[in-house]
Structure 1
Amino acid sequence: MSAEATNPEAHAEMRPELRRRGRTRLDLRRLGRAALLGPASRDRLPDAIGHVAEAHRAHHPDADLSILRRAYLLAETSHRGQMRKSGEPYITHPLAVTLILAELGAETTTLTASLLHDTVEDTDVTLDQVRAEFGDEVCFIVDGVTKVEKIDYGAAAEPETFRKMLVATGNDVRVMSIKLADRLHNMRTLGVMRPEKQARIAKVTRDVLIPLAERLGVQALKTELEDLVFAILHPEEYEQTRALIAAHAGDADPLPAIADSVRAVLRDAGIAAEVQVRPRHFVSVHRISRTRGELRGSDFGRILVLVAENADCYGVLGELHTCFTPVVSEFKDFIAAPKFNLYQSLHTAVAVPEGYVAEVIVRTRQMHRVAEAGVVALGNPYTTGTRPEAPDSDEERVDPTRPGWLSRLLDWQQSAPDPDTFWSVLRAELAQDREITVFREDGDATAAISLPAGASCIDAAYAQYGEAAHGCIGARVNGRLTSLSSPLSDGDTVQLLLAHDASSGPAADWLEHARTPAARIAIGSWLAAHPDGAGPATAAPRAPLSVTGLRGGGGNAVADLPDAHVRLAGCCTPVPPDAVAGFVVRGGAVTVHRIHCPAVAQMRSVGRTSVAVHWRATADCRVTLLAESFGRPHLLADLTEAIARQGVEVVSATVEPPVEQRVRHSYTLQLPDATGLPALMRAMRDVPGVYDVSRA
């Protein structure tokens, strides 16, 4: 294994932030020596946490440091005499973890819990003592971290450990913030361990903790963890990347000159902005070298533009695209549509006259804080004045900063039938690197649903309805009827059609199109409980089933009566070129019937005079069809899909209770062309189990 794999300082000279990390580690050695000298006097802040206090005050100038002093004194006293494998006093570890979080802008409660995070597990300090001295909230977080620590080492690769870790994370995201900082410091000092143990810890970090850091938005921790894991698990590729960066360091870097040009453009436009050059970290350089081949000087970093307000971001974008040549395919707006982990920025790329293409990120300073620190930057996630529950409370704490993906994981982890299922769907969820947002329609209401990229209408159904989605028979996407297996795209509008029927259940092939854990677990559980594919009450009589769409009436009939409103009768649903007759009804509207409809004879028998009606040249029409079939599971879904394949919209559908295993379906359909009616009826008759289709 290369020296860099166990000695992160070896490449620190390559990048400014790595030099900062190197200084941090030297500072921690000094903190270790200060810790050995013992606590300070009662009125003075201990020297060992001076760096923590300085970093904390940079983000929170008015912070009360007295609680940090008390937490440090308890931690230092309780850990006194304990040593790390590196030979340093153990207190340097919680100090390092707390310094990492302080630099990210964590609030005082998080830092207090961080200083104490190992005391309950490794010393004689009890949770009751922590609660008595620091309150319920600090106690809750320390208890959560303690539970995570107990399950992480030794059995960290077991599925059940991650279920427990997830629960601990979900109850308070600050638990996982401390855990991530704890893992980062341990990864920095991993060189004292055996190579096989380094590899095991690195794999767990890669598979679970780095994806969790990504989803919590803590990019500063995620990127360094990626580099450290890269060095341990892929030493040869790491060395090649290190050599590539080292070679670039000796060349003229075009990015500072490009940054100067950007500053000049924005200054002339009157936009106050801070422009920085942000070097790529090792893994990022490795990735783009694999996709772009030979790298140019501008590929080793990006331009970061920081402004005050959201509107300024778009002002910067306009100036950049006006004064430079934009690379249109590289533009992404994560301000209007934030990523699943709270990330917001504008991404673009511009070509400069020298022939270089520079990637540019534009964001506000607040967006930058969240982009770097994620949930850590959001402070206390609980409303002021709300007392958190005690650590042994059965009620889950409601965290308004919890990302949507984490809420989903917490929901379905309780439904997972076994640890292996949980593990497989967890890995699949963490592997998702992109989410889409779709908008569901339910009557007059519209709401957003976040789903992983590649999700289908099936996933949307279970996200909206839970287990009631077992009865889903179809969906409209952007107003058009489609099959449940259809994949969704960002921004789609979805209306789901449900059969409100206890006997309905999912088909086995739904699993092939389900992407979300909630859908896969629910479908798998139902299929396991019904191995024959039939619902629990398939043969039992049922009330009529009705599924109604959103579209109103209207047709292509024109009455020979000036300004009369014309509507097609629902009893016979005439379509071109049916012979029709119209009758004036209350309100002056003209209702159109097929000439052989019983209603026509009835109206004429009471002396009603018919109005002449003719069909417009336009071809679309509405019709009601009756389908008679033998009962079987999923018949309604199959019929709906057959109708959708013909490009026909279902306005409403009714299924009567089965009689002697025979079922009668009634569909009111909107056809784009009346000439397609015979083909539609043939397609419906071709559905297995259907023995007749006729006009109503």
Structure 2
Amino acid sequence: MTDTTKKLTPQELKDEEMINAAFQKLLDTYLATNHRKKVEVITKAFNFAKQAHKGVRRRSGEPYILHPIAVAQIACEEIGLGSTSICAALLHDVEEDTDYTNEDLSNLFGPKVANIVEGLTKISGGIFGDRASLQAETFKKLLLTMSDDIRVILIKISDRLHNMRTLSSMLPSKQYKIAGETLYIYAPLADRLGLNKIKTELEDLSFRYEHPEEYKMIEDMLASTQADRTSIFDNFVPPIRKMLDDMGFNYQIQQRIKTPYSIWNKMQNKHVAFNEIYDILAIRIVYVPLNRKQEIDECFSIYAGLTKIYRPHPTRFRDWLSSPKANGYQALHNTFMSAQGKWIEVQIRSDRMNDIAEQGFAAHWKYKDKDADYDENELDKWLDSIKEILDDPQPDTLDLLDTIKLNLFSKEILVFTPKGEIKTMPNNATALDFAFHIHSFLGTHCFAVKVNHKLVPLSYRLKSGDQIEILTSREQQVKPEWLNFATTAKARGKIQAILRREKREKMRIGEERLAAFFKEQDLEATSTNIDRLRRFHELADRDELAQALGANKIELGQPDVDVLTGKVRKTGWRRYVPFIGPKKQAEVNSTDVEDFVRGLNRKQTLVLNEDTLQKCAIAPCCRPIPGDDVLGYITPQNTLEIHKRSCPTATKLKTRYGNNIIALKWDTHRTLYFPVCIHIKGVDDHGVLYAIADVLHNTELDLVIKHISIDTNDGIFDGTIEFLLHDTDDVKQICDTLLRLHYIESAYREDKKD
């Protein structure tokens, strides 16, 4: 030991001290839990990982081993996992970043730890083809392992949380990629597993890096209004404390403040200002049951006592006790009118319910030996639904991300079978989704549905409490248009699988007909000849030609065009298909644009000015303008698309093609105009249009108005005005100006697709 320590530099000694302190904190946290105390194996994993990562530092400059320790700390302290998970967390980067193999880990720490580490290890690039996304493949592998061991995803979430907490050392383009991926996949995944506290932190950290100015603005507003909320809390709570004391409960009453991300989301979706959000404060009552077996009855008793103190809202009552959420969440919610005339939400939970709300399914182990009434079957159902999705091989791994996102992160509704069995379905699920949920045969041959004994279309969106009966016929087959309203992963997966099978069969028949045609014409089936035939029928590629032939959409006879010479004949195909010459392709010289994009340094921030904007494309899905937080996406065609960072399309791009994301910043100096659509709504009255035109005419802005459209209905007008403006400051000034008119209730920018 002397030989190793005497050579340490002051910096190395400082690092050792920091590493040992972090590991000791992890051990102390673990020893304070109810898990079996396996300190030896954890220490062994720590020493092994420390040696494996020796001399390596993170981008922030700290020793790399501090990252695995921090991940293990989160897994233990914030999720409640035990020694196997802690070891896997400590070792999670060894296989990826060092020469040690999974076999080495299995020999040293056992197959359980090794399998978790394998599930957490990223896939090396270059083996999935040109179209595959490394991020998507990594996530798929994670899910495959997770369906066998839920600890894989719990440690991955811990890893992502620590990465987000230390994201400031990364390049902006990497920040956008990681933050976007976190919002799209990991925050909803944490929510679905019941990790509410972690979900909230992931969302807020993503928001902070994607929209730093808005994040700071909301934090400042929350700070400035804290005194008002404290006053409301102090006035509202004393009668509740007296009631709970009289009932003999041991309890806590907490303030729950809406998070910056949640506030911003509501401001965006509802187009309201901060001071128009009225549910920023909620009260949470967490009680220890007097009798664990009577836990739910006691929760209702507390609610009944509350209704005697404050008036409850007639439509805001939420009972998550009788029907827990799929992530295990249980509580009673309602909104009550305070003595000061303000609506305040109150949430009532037991200590067990509170633990599960914060730590998710991992918290159940605390209560396994007690008499609590809880159900872990929902987790098994959820894992089964993942296996179901993964059992159907997707043609494109990127589709898997959407499928997983679509099905597993949705909110739930409760519906009934004809026999009265309760089934949990995702929110917005259709009658067709329900048919596939019960059985694939029912879905495939479903021709009609009865909801509450009345016939409804297959596209009918289910509501909680609906009773559903599926009518089938063996003659009914899957139709492509079903994909327009099937929403669950199981339904869409089965429909797509059947359609793919049918497509392959049609292509096989088409290829046979194509070969027979060439043989009949005594021609060679060369790619040139097939291409001429394909162009004649205006089809995109050979597969489309074969499919059209197999589906009898086109017929090959004596051709109007000699496929060898390209000369038009006057007999033959004209009997079947009218001849239309091939569409002329617009010849655009894009060499300059491609050269510009190829020459970009993806690690640097590109400045958007009059010159560079000419070589970029403004994304029509979100139509960003100067002042918006934006990023660039380098397309496979070597063009650069500019998206808002909050754009749903950009979120998918960050998740799928993170390495093609580039940081951007505006520098237009109000020299360029950009199209902007402003939506207005208000009370219809005589002279409204004149008043709007007059107020716009008298602004200080040099406005260019392109289009005005206003509709009226029952005394309410609703419309849009399209401008050419310089930046977001212009938008704010116009909206503020319009809102000064007493006619106008709302004015906001609309991201309308072209």
Query: CA distance change for structure 1 residues 162 and 98 in 2, over 3 Å: closer, same or farther?
Result: closer
Deviations 1:625-662 (A, max 9, x none): xxxxxxxxxxxxxxxxxxxxxxxxxxxxxxxxxxxxxx
Identify the match of residue 217 of structure 1 among 168, 186, 194. 194
TM-superposed CA distance for 1:225, in Å, is 0.8
The answer on 1:185 being equivalent to 2:162 is yes
The more displaced of 358-367 and 121-130 is 121-130
Question: Within 5 A, what are the aligned runs for 1:116-131?
Answer: 116-131=91-106
| Structure 1 counterpart of 2:51, from 70, 77, 95 | 77
| Equivalent position amino acid for 2:482 in 1 | W
Matched position secondary structure for 1:496: strand
Q: Do the aligned residues in 2 keep the contact of 1:277 with 1:303 (CA within 8 Å)?
A: yes
Residue among 365, 369, 373 paired with 2:351: 365
Compute the displacement of 1:317 (Å).
0.9
**Do structure 1's residue 313 and structure 2's residue 331 form an aligned pair?**
no
1:504 pairs with 2:490? no
CA contact (8 A) 2:449 2:458 kept: yes
Verify: 1:518 aligned to 2:518, yes or no: no
**What is the aligned partner in structure 1 of residue 31 from structure 2?**
57
Within 5 A, what are the aligned runs for 1:99-118?
A: 99-104=73-78, 105-118=80-93
CA distance in 2, matches of 1:341, 1:168: 20
Indicate the residue corresponding to 1:679 in structure 2: none
Query: Is the Cα contact below 8 Å between 2:122 and 2:138 reproduced in 1?
Result: no
From 431, 438, 446, the equivalent of 1:472 is 446
Matched residue, 2:147: 170
Unaligned regions of 5+ residues in structure 1, if any? Answer: 1-30, 40-45, 384-398, 537-696
- Structure 1 residues 513 and 427: alpha-carbon distance in aligned structure 2, compared to 1, 3 A threshold: same
* Displacement of 1:382: 13
Is this contact kept in 1: 2:236–2:339, CA < 8 A? no
SS in 2 for 1:354: coil
2: CA distance between counterparts of 1:147 and 1:454? 34
Q: For residues 139-193 of structure 1, what are the alpha-carbon distances to aligned partners after superposition, in whole Å with 9 as ceiling and x for unaligned?
A: 2212211247989xx9867544433332232222111111111111111111111
Deviation at 1:236, TM superposition (A): 2.4
Count of residues in Structure 1 that have an aligned counterpart in Structure 2: 477
Query: Structure 1 pair 531/139, CA: closer, same or farther in 2 (3 Å)?
Result: closer
CA apart distance, 1:299: 4.3
Q: Does the 8 Å contact 1:471/1:505 carry over to 2? A: yes
CA contact (8 A) 1:255 1:358 kept: no
Q: Structure 2 matches for 1:553-632, cutoff 5 A?
A: none
1:661-680 alignment, distance < 5 Å: none
CA contact (8 A) 2:34 2:366 kept: no
Using the aligned pairs only, state the percent identity: 31
Which of 302, 311, 314 is the aligned partner of 1:328? 314
The 5 Å alignment of 1:1-400 reads: 36-37=16-17, 47-60=21-34, 63-104=37-78, 105-147=80-122, 158-249=135-226, 251=228, 253=230, 254-288=232-266, 291=270, 293-295=273-275, 299-307=279-287, 308=289, 309-379=295-365
Structure 1 residue 509: deviation in Å? 3.4
Query: Would the alpha carbon gap of residues 248 and 142 (structure 1) be closer, same or farther in structure 2, given more than 3 Å must change?
Result: same
Moved more, 308-317 or 128-137: 128-137
Give me the whole-angstrom Cα distance separating, in 2, the residues matched to 1:381 and 1:474: 45
Residues 495/220 of structure 1: CA separation in 2 closer, same or farther (3 Å cut): same
Bigger Cα Rg: 1
Equivalents in 2 of 1:166, 1:315: separation in Å?
A: 42
d(CA) in 2 for partners of 1:464 and 1:527? 20
Deviation string, structure 1 residues 574-618 (Cα, Å, up to 9, x no partner): xxxxxxxxxxxxxxxxxxxxxxxxxxxxxxxxxxxxxxxxxxxxx
Matching residue's letter, 1:505: Q
Change (3 A) 1:142 1:525: closer
State the distance in 2 between where 1:239 and 1:79 align.
37
Q: Structure 2 vs 1, CA of residues 421 and 305 (structure 1 numbering), >3 Å: closer, same or farther?
A: same
TM-score (norm 2): 0.58
CA-atom RMSD in angstroms: 3.5
Question: CA–CA distance in 2 between the matches of 1:252 and 1:448?
Answer: 41
Amino acid at match of 1:36: E
- In 2, are the aligned partners of 1:60 and 1:107 still within 8 Å (CA)? no
Q: Name the SS for the 1:113 alignment partner.
A: helix
**Deviation at residue 375 of structure 1 after TM alignment:** 2.8
Any gaps of 5 or more consecutive residues in structure 2?
Answer: 1-10, 290-294, 370-375, 509-754
